[in-house]
Amino acid sequence: MNRSHFIRMSLLAGTSLLAAGAAVAHVTLAEGSATAGSDYAAAFRVGHACKDAKSTTGLTVRVPAGFAVQKAEPRDGWTLNATGSEISWKANSPQAALPASEKAQFIVRGKLDAKPGPLWFKVLQTCDVGSADWAQIPASDTAKPEFPAARLMVLAPGSAAPVEVSDAWVRRAVPGQSGTGAFMKLKAPEAMRLVGASTPVAGVAEVHEMKMEGDTMKMRPLSQGLELPAGQTVELTPGGYHLMLTDLKQPVNVGTTVPVTLRFVDAKGVASEQTLQVPVAIGAPGGGAASGGEHQHQHKH
Ligand SMILES: [Cu+2]
């Protein structure tokens, strides 16, 4: 769709200050996908301490079947222990503990024998005060448990790594409303572009940008698609890039999900697509009023 059309911003107006700093709350894997049968370095990223804690003092990884451990990397000032399928690091002294403000990676190297599909690593984080057990396995693609286990997507050999999609939502549309927007965070494992989208609820789905023209905010389709640099999180938000859904075929109600298919093209021109079930909401998940609010209130124990 190349026509340069303009739609008033009020369609998408609302909370747009969502979650600038919310990204690194959970314990996650630095490399979120790997090929079955390959060597894999599971690097667990710790980006914060437990709720109300000043530092992380220990980490215990429960290695799932399908990942044969070869070596865990030691950490200065910490004691490394490997017993059966458990690998743990423990700070030898309070001075060696990882301060809440610092990030670190704890690395386990091994080989993936698992079949394609998600593989979950449960991680217990202990702190100077309390602990957090990152061990919940989401019941569905859109479920958001409070303490999710770290996920590795095991890929069939030869298949393209999927783009990681998080915090996706579609803004509700009442009967008679002709358009709405879809928002999410996208992280591509290798450089690619989001070139299009489709959904059964709308006749047209386009990747849009917002731009100031003079003193008016306007939006228009991105004719070349949206660039997704390798490993970087790109946000689609009500005030920025977004998926515009127009020519709505039906009301889009809170409490339902909308299938949205995203189309990508990689640097070699190879096209791929991913279909998501995106929940409908009135505003950004977590209220979106305060920056980072989305995760901060989840860490109570
Ligand atoms: Cu738009």
Answer for the pair 171, 181: CB distance below 8 angstroms, yes or no: yes
Output the CA 206–ligand 1 centroid distance in Å.
8
Output the CA 5–ligand 1 centroid distance in Å.
9
Output the CA 194–ligand 1 centroid distance in Å.
15
Output the CA 69–ligand 1 centroid distance in Å.
47
* CATH numbers and ranges of domains, the chain: 24-155 (2.60.40.2230), 164-284 (2.60.40.1890)
Answer for the pair 260, 275: CB distance below 8 angstroms, yes or no: yes
Mean pLDDT of the chain: 84
Answer for the pair 130, 51: CB distance below 8 angstroms, yes or no: yes
Q: What are phi and psi for residue 160, nearest 5 degrees?
A: -75, 140
Rounded CA gap, 40 and 33, in Å?
Answer: 9
Q: pTM of the predicted model, to two decimals? A: 0.57
pLDDT in tens, 71-119: 999 999 999 999 889 999 999 999 999 999 898 999 999 999 878 889 9
Output the CA 103–ligand 1 centroid distance in Å.
36
pLDDT in tens, 125-169: 999 999 999 999 988 766 788 899 999 988 887 666 789 999 999
Question: Quick one: tokens of 201?
Answer: 């609820």
pLDDT for residue 45: 92
Rounded CA gap, 3 and 282, in Å?
Answer: 29
Output the CA 67–ligand 1 centroid distance in Å.
44
pLDDT for residue 286: 62
Output the CA 199–ligand 1 centroid distance in Å.
15
Q: Check pLDDT > 60 for residue 20.
A: no
DSSP helix/strand/coil, 88: strand
Rounded CA gap, 259 and 204, in Å?
Answer: 14
Q: Check pLDDT > 60 for residue 21.
A: no
Q: Where are the alpha helices (DSSP H) in the chain?
A: 293-296
